[in-house]
Amino acid sequence: AQSVTQPDIHITVSEGASLELRCNYSYGATPYLFWYVQSPGQGLQLLLKYFSGDTLVQGIKGFEAEFKRSQSSFNLRKPSVHWSDAAEYFCAVDPYSGGGADGLTFGKGTHLIIQP
């Protein structure tokens, strides 16, 4: 079945340490890929997106993500986290790569906790 998997429900990272959040998808073709962040009680903010081309994409707030076709993965990274990065992170796919109208499919999210 087509799906988006975020294997880690919770991740705890010390402030200043590096971060990697995992995302795997199972679709026949390479979908468009996105990472969103959601602070408590808020809507979703787009961090970065991948449509095609360079497999390492840069986003806002110092985040980057790497698309690996062979692993069907789109992992989010940040070299040094700040306390303000504590939030819920969602990986999402557009399985029709801009050609459909069935919305984004989201993973279940990873809750990021920052330790002082």
Partner 1 sequence: DAGVTQSPTHLIKTRGQQVTLRCSPISGHKSVSWYQQVLGQGPQFIFQYYEKEERGRGNFPDRFSARQFPNYSSELNVNALLLGDSALYLCASSLTRGVREQYFGPGTRLTVT
Quote the CA–CA distance of 51 and 40 in Å, as a whole number.
28
**Span interacting with partner 1, options 10-18, 43-51, 65-73, 76-84, rule CB under 8 A:** 43-51
Binding mask 75-114 for partner 1 (x = CB under 8 A): ---------------x-x-x-x-xxxxxxxxxxxx-----
What is the distance between the alpha carbons of residues 44 and 79, in angstroms, rounded to a whole number?
Answer: 22
Of 53 and 116, CB closest to partner 1: 53
At 82, is the secondary structure helix, strand, or coil?
coil
Q: In this chain, which of 25, 34, 67, 74 binds partner 1, going by CB under 8 A?
A: 34
Sign for the pseudo-dihedral over CA of 21, 22, 27, 30: positive
Q: Whose structure tokens read 């692993």? A: 71
Stretch of 16-24, 46-54, 62-70, 73-81 contacting partner 1, by CB under 8 A: 46-54
